Amino acid sequence: MQKILDTIYWGNSLEKYFIVVGGMFLTWILLRIIKKIAVKKLQKWAANTTNQFDDVLVSAFDRFAVPIVYLILNYYLIQLLTISTKADKVLSVAVSLVTMIFVVNMINYALYYGVKTYMDIKGEPSERMKQLTGILTVLKVVFWFLGILFLASNLGYDITTIIAGLGVGGIAIALAAQNILGDLFSYFVIFFDKPFEVGDFVVVGAEQGAIEKIGVKTVRIRSISGEQLIMPNSEIVKATIKNFKRLEKRRKIFSIGVTYDTNPLLLAEIPQLIKDIINNTTDTELIRCHLLSFADSSINFEIVYFVLSDDFIKYMDIHQEICLAIASCFKEKQIEFAFPSQTIYLKNN
């Protein structure tokens, strides 16, 4: 039996192969037991805490850290074998590459679900998480880049030369892509400052509409006439923005004119009539109603009130209701609305 175990294959005895394979199997069993006991206990502990971030860390450890440990232990078991320098180099590169991939994926996983958990705790709408995808993508690229640099360093490459080369290349790229980088940084400003969100009705310069999508380079607005407006982030950040979604109530100021034939007693009564109409209309807040001026062809009254809603359609419906009620009241009181007119007096000589 010992003779069989001492048989040499590719520079190693059969006994060594059995030891390595058996070690891999025992390592797998041991890690399975640890995962069943330790990880389960960690998951149970994390579930009982008020902090949800530990759940994300435990999940990341379970998904990525355990396979990394198994891979590294297997690598050291293989080192017990006598293998060629070339094979050892290939194995070392493969293990470093796979480890780097697992580590970067673990960081990106923890980052994504950590941010998602934070957004859920803050009660942010799902659209905010969609907006954050652009930033997370940039961070993922950065982590992958750092992972590749770390891998190159471990493989014996001089990364200072690479970094220096990237520095010069980065300056050239930055100069060539100023507009793209400007839009990217403006995207960060929009996300963190939150001047508007998806669904908000905004006026930007001469354009107006509802925000449909906030992208890494552009903001897409659905105009009232139906077409989609695409505006670069850098331009929209510089512009003056009116955000009507942030309105808690809408102010309305308008005037009406009555004829000069109106009885002075009725003129004194008009402000109260209009006040009563507005006060009896739901979701309104009266500010004032006064006789404003004596114009060329009318006696003008000015009315100011608030509609207690940010909905533009509701605002217009309420104003229409008030105008119709005023017209009905004036007809009942025989008060005539004025319109531009002139009276010409002819003197008889």
Reported as a single tens digit per residue, the pLDDT across 49-60 is: 666 666 667 777
Domain residue extents for the chain? 2-175, 197-246, 250-333
Class of domain 197-246: mainly beta
SS3 287: strand
The residue behind tokens 């320098």 is 85
What is the average per-residue pLDDT within 257-270?
92
In DSSP notation, 149-216 reads HHHHHHTT--HHHHHHHHHHHHHHHHHHTHHHHHHHHHHHHHHHH-S--TT-EEEETTEEEEEEEE-S
96 three-class SS: helix
List the structure tokens of 260.
């000069």
Place of tokens 């000069």: 260
Site of tokens 């109603």 = 289
d(CA 220, CA 229): 6
Query: Does the pLDDT of residue 253 top 90, yes or no?
Result: yes
Q: Topology of domain 250-333, per CATH?
A: Alpha-Beta Plaits (3.30.70)
Residue 285: DSSP 8-state: E
Cross-strand bridge partners of residue 219: 214, 231
What is the rounded distance in angstroms from the CA atom of residue 89 to the CA atom of residue 262? 104
Neighbours of 228 (CB within 10 A): 11
3-state secondary structure of 224: coil
Residues above pLDDT 90, as percent of the chain = 21
**Alpha-carbon Rg for the chain in angstroms:** 38
- Mean residue pLDDT of the chain comes to 78
Torsion of CA 322, 325, 331, 334, to 10 degrees: -70
Helix (H) or strand (E) holding 327: helix 312-333
Return d(Cα 315, Cα 321) in angstroms, integer. Answer: 10
Higher pLDDT, 289 or 27: 289
3-state secondary structure of 48: coil
Q: What confidence score (pLDDT) does residue 287 get? A: 95
What is the widest separation between alpha-carbon atoms in the chain?
150
- Report how far residue 78's alpha carbon sits from residue 90's, in angstroms, rounded to the nearest whole number: 13
How sure is the predictor about 81, in pLDDT bands with cuts at 50, 70 and 90?
A: low
- What is the pTM (predicted TM-score) of this model? 0.50
The string of pLDDT tens digits covering residues 106-149 is: 888 778 777 777 777 666 666 666 667 767 787 888 888 888 88
Grouping H, G, I as helix, E, B as strand and the rest as coil, residue 291 is strand
Closest CA to 32 of 82, 76, 67, 73: 67
